[in-house]
Amino acid sequence: MPDQPTAPDRTIATDVCVVGAGPVGLLAALALGRQGWQITLLERRPQPPAGAEPKGPVAVNIVQPVTLHLLDRLGLLDRLTERAGVIPGAEIYFGGHLAARHSYAELDGCPVPHALSIRSFDLVRLLLAELADLPNATVIWDADTRALTPGTGGSSTLTVRTGETTVAVQARFVIAADGRDSTARELAGIPAEVVPSSGSYLDVVVPNPPGWNGIARAHFGTHGYLLETRRADEGLVLVWITDAATAAQVTDGPIEGLVTMLSRVVPRLADWIARHVTDWEQVRRVQHHFVHTKTWSQGNVVLVGDSAHGMHAFGGQGLNTSLQDAACLAEAVDSALRGEDASGIESYEAVRRPFIEAFQSLQVTNTQQPPAAAADEQERAPEFEVLALGQPAIRPLIADAAAFLAADTDQSRR
């Protein structure tokens, strides 16, 4: 349990305190910082050495055009693309037969003509560099948040221990972006259920096959769900998602069983897979969690990203919805700070939450239950247009957020 508050060694007064320096928290902090608000960012990890590269496997995400447009408004897209893998479109297969072919460039209203496969680390590094240029933004590393106390006038005080120092951060708004096991959410008293997926997720990376065109291919069938797509600029990743029992029939045996399964689903790559997948140590297994919260905000504390609605990787919407959240909520918080309208946060949740919960249910269907019969496969596939452009009901808010991110800053607010 969190410690009781202690007398602070120093006090920081800030407009917004963001808890969590992952991509979502950093985007929210940068968006609000560029509007001139005083920003304090708390991160429990130590500050990484300058120029440090991550050790071991790093998280890679497929970022859809609607989300890339938001990053473009921040001036990050060109630099982010340098170390990413470009995905020009997708093909959908049911029972081994091509059912649909999509091109981002031909999708009406698509703001960027491709998706990107990016390392989250690269996005974090870019956002941190941009935040470092703001004189009104402070990052506190190695920050152990121990208490959150509501104050007068709608503000809150976070008691933070960093090294041997106790800091009191007095904030008009608190944005909790500290992940599925959010400390800020717990301290705010917001009930949450964190449920591990009982399904199976594994992936393996192979070099890009000769002549491969970068198209992502999603295969639905009695095996479950298999995705072949780019892994940043590193090669081709094969992702297999299914229920635990189906996976166990393969993973409890030699690696040749996995090679056979992958080759049966993607026969055109059979020789390539057999050549490059030779040991179980090449295969990465990931445990995902679902997060369900009673509310996404309470008082001046707002949850964003995995703190509010953690997801499975199926459909690749975790980072996408979270970054969209951060952009839209930054605009809503900016409006509330200026005293114009404090209802934006609640109305955003009212529009967004039904879609998020429906998508989580779709993920459960595709990850924890035995694969449906071939006739039902199409019902298990997410809509390409919704993945690329966002849910229809939220697109006007995302468009407003894009304009907000690109707006000229006003450094007079202090």
Residue 253, domain member (yes or no): no
Distances (CA, A) of 59 to 53, 56, 198, 282, 315: 13, 10, 21, 16, 15
Residue 243, domain member (yes or no): no
User: Which of 150, 146, 195 minimizes the C-alpha distance to 170?
Assistant: 150
Predicted confidence band at 360 (pLDDT cuts at 50, 70, 90)? Answer: confident
Better-predicted residue by pLDDT, 347 or 329: 329
The tokens for 26 are 């950093």
Reported as a single tens digit per residue, the pLDDT across 386-396 is 899 998 988 99
**For 7-22, what is the mean pLDDT?**
94
**Mean of pLDDT over the chain:** 90
Write down the residue that tokens 């970068």 correspond to: 214
Residue 298, domain member (yes or no): yes
The tokens for 292 are 């369900």
Predicted confidence (pLDDT) at residue 413 exceeds the cutoff of 80: no
Residue 141 and residue 289: Cα distance in Å, rounded? 26
DSSP string, 63-109: EPHHHHHHHHHTT-HHHHHTTSEEE-EEEEEETTEEEEEEEGGGSTT
**For 311-337, what is the mean pLDDT?**
91
The tokens for 295 are 């509310």
3-state class (DSSP) for residue 171: strand
Residue 398, domain member (yes or no): yes
CA 283 remoteness from chain centre: 22
**For 82-107, what is the mean pLDDT?**
94
**For 48-58, what is the mean pLDDT?**
73
Inter-residue contact 126 to 76 (CB < 8 Å): yes
Predicted confidence band at 414 (pLDDT cuts at 50, 70, 90)? Answer: very low
| pLDDT for residue 374 | 45
| pLDDT for residue 375 | 46
Predicted confidence (pLDDT) at residue 363 exceeds the cutoff of 90: no
The tokens for 212 are 């491969």
| pLDDT for residue 81 | 96
| pLDDT for residue 125 | 94
| pLDDT for residue 6 | 58
Residue 254, domain member (yes or no): no
Inter-residue contact 163 to 263 (CB < 8 Å): no
Residue 188 and residue 307: Cα distance in Å, rounded? 12
What spatial distance separates the first Cα and last Cα of the chain, rounded to whole Å? 35
Inter-residue contact 122 to 84 (CB < 8 Å): yes
Residue 24, domain member (yes or no): yes
Overall number of domains in the chain = 1
Residue 224, domain member (yes or no): no
**For 261-272, what is the mean pLDDT?**
96
CA geometry: angle 116, 41, 305, nearest 5 deg: 45
**For 360-372, what is the mean pLDDT?**
78
φ/ψ of 78, rounded to 5, equals: -60, -45
Residue 357, domain member (yes or no): yes
Inter-residue contact 403 to 395 (CB < 8 Å): no
Reported as a single tens digit per residue, the pLDDT across 287-310 is 988 899 999 999 899 999 999 999
**320: domain range?**
10-64+120-197+289-406
DSSP string, 197-251: --SEEEEEEEPPPTT----EEEEEETTEEEEEEEETTTEEEEEEEE-HHHHHHHH
DSSP-derived letter for residue 281 is: G
**For 65-77, what is the mean pLDDT?**
97
Residue 149 and residue 167: Cα distance in Å, rounded? 13
Task: State the CATH number of the domain containing residue 150.
Answer: 3.50.50.60
**For 143-165, what is the mean pLDDT?**
90
φ/ψ of 156, rounded to 5, equals: -135, 155
DSSP-derived letter for residue 268 is: G
Q: Tell me the HSE value of 8 on the side-chain side, using a 13 A CA sphere.
A: 16
**For 263-274, what is the mean pLDDT?**
96
**For 202-206, what is the mean pLDDT?**
95
| pLDDT for residue 378 | 60
Reported as a single tens digit per residue, the pLDDT across 371-383 is 665 446 566 678 8
